[in-house]
Structure 1
């Protein structure tokens, strides 16, 4: 044993109000230490100090506003801790199969008693009766789960303390009211319809420049319709949808938010009479109707650009829709026009390409020249020879 360790033992013994004389001239320090411990055992039971001892127990109980006398009383009455005290004093058995005592048995070399309370290092082992009060005191400042655990590790311990702190923090109403929002859920896409014009997504946007628009998009082909609305009530929406569906047919499913025109009884009866299933997006969660929201975002940009250029908004929207329907979509890899109508829509840019009729006429002339032969010309009244394919002729 080194001299530094001997000095530490001397300081520990002196903290219990025993007068220790440090023997620096001893050649065998181990003998000196054994005599010191023997002196402590012989005099510890008979010497009493009028001043209260200041130990880790006092430090922990003062921080948690607990009287160590209460801890002492409850520790003695606690069926588990009272048994642990007897094991600490009389010795631990070689093997212990009681489930409740296993956590203490695993720390048997680190547990000791102080003023009839069980200690684990500098932490007080709290009896079961006092644990709720200790938890309340630990979480009094409503710190987070990690910091509350860190605070608890400086003062107290009992089996399952981390789980008890987690349960307390998760059930604290004050913490829940100001807690951060959980991470966003992973994106879940709508199933892609196997046929065009099967599922439609609709939504409003505006008012912009005094106008409100109804946006409709097909989930399969990405075909988009934008209608200026004089009113947003159910009757006006039904009228706009009748006009669109008269050209493209009735869909199987319609997806919308929970706006008043879509939740009205009139709109519900209109869809039921036409055999259309109505699906609502999640309230206060616009991204669940993502197709309509993206279409609204795109159309808003078109309107704002037209206003910044002092252009007619309706003309700008119609020109945009023509180009949009004829452009390959990044999701489907085809243009909405080809998927819905099976053809590309003619645009001004098609003037740069040769007409198909001119190409066909040129090809036919080339075929006539390549076939050879002579040109025949007859006038009325000319005598001609002809081949008769009749039988016997």
Structure 2
């Protein structure tokens, strides 16, 4: 709906082609000429309704909207952006002013209405208000994902997601109370009643050679033997000999 409100500037060359040179006749060339004014009036009404609906459904208070309008009017980059939205964008990226270069990739989704700039149905926030908005987004000390979902339904500025992640990551309160992984408590094994009743074994490599280590749980006495290979038969036989 929002995209229908945008006005694009095109340089159109109209060339007349006689009907006898058109192999397939299109239906519009055979329709009667109608008055275009009612159509324009109807489109204007639809545009007014769409703009009114957009402002009525914004989850932002009137005082805050007024503050955003004021900051938009006083922000140089926002005014340059407004000019290009209304007058048209250059044909190539290198012709775009550096002030608004970060808006180039979504230029076809930008619109201006009632002192505010929108990207689709989200308000573009001026630079002077972004830090304050970040604090309000993270006022409840929500997680990064929750702050993303809160902001992305209503607000926009280039690099907003990255700024939200930095804001949440650098929050000292969140760092202090964040969920920590549960530490596993150490469980001591029962001490056996006789030597070599319970053993532990492992294979390790040292200086390019393979060895098997056997430790008695009762005395902690270790035995180390060299292995000719690490096949299961060799390891089992070696441990049995130990």
Asked whether the two chains share a fold, i.e. TM above 0.5, the reply is yes
2-structure distance, mates of 1:66, 1:165: 24
How does the TM-score come out when normalised to structure 1?
0.38
Tell whether 2:98 aligns with 1:95.
no
SS of aligned partner of 1:113: strand
SS of aligned partner of 2:141: coil
- Cα offset for 1:40? 7.2
- Cα offset for 1:338? 7.0
Q: Report the RMSD for the aligned CA atoms in angstroms.
A: 3.8
- Cα offset for 1:34? 5.5
Tell whether 2:202 aligns with 1:323.
no
- Cα offset for 1:59? 4.2
- Cα offset for 1:135? 1.4
Tell whether 2:212 aligns with 1:333.
yes
Are the equivalent residues in 1 in contact too, given 2:124–2:155 (CA < 8 A)?
yes
Identify the residue that residue 86 of structure 1 maps to in structure 2: 83
Are the equivalent residues in 2 in contact too, given 1:60–1:124 (CA < 8 A)?
no
**Aligned pairs, number:** 178
Tell whether 2:180 aligns with 1:168.
no
2-structure distance, mates of 1:39, 1:105: 31
Instruction: State how 1:271-310 maps to structure 2 within 5 Å.
Output: 297-298=188-189, 301-302=190-191
Instruction: Check 1:323–1:132 CA distance in 2 against 1; reply closer, same or farther (3 A cut).
Output: same
Q: Quick one: which of 46, 53, 56 aligns to 2:54?
A: 56
Identify the residue that residue 116 of structure 2 maps to in structure 1: 117
Q: Select the structure with the greater relative contact order (CA < 8 A; seq sep ≥ 6).
A: 2
Identify the residue that residue 75 of structure 1 maps to in structure 2: 72
Are the equivalent residues in 2 in contact too, given 1:145–1:166 (CA < 8 A)?
yes
2-structure distance, mates of 1:61, 1:107: 23
Runs of 4+ in 1 over 6 A off after TM superposition: none
Instruction: Check 1:168–1:34 CA distance in 2 against 1; reply closer, same or farther (3 A cut).
Output: farther
SS of aligned partner of 1:181: coil
How does the TM-score come out when normalised to structure 2?
0.59
2-structure distance, mates of 1:112, 1:31: 31
Instruction: Check 1:32–1:181 CA distance in 2 against 1; reply closer, same or farther (3 A cut).
Output: farther
User: Unaligned regions of 5+ residues in structure 1, if any?
Assistant: 13-27, 45-52, 185-284, 287-292, 304-315, 341-393
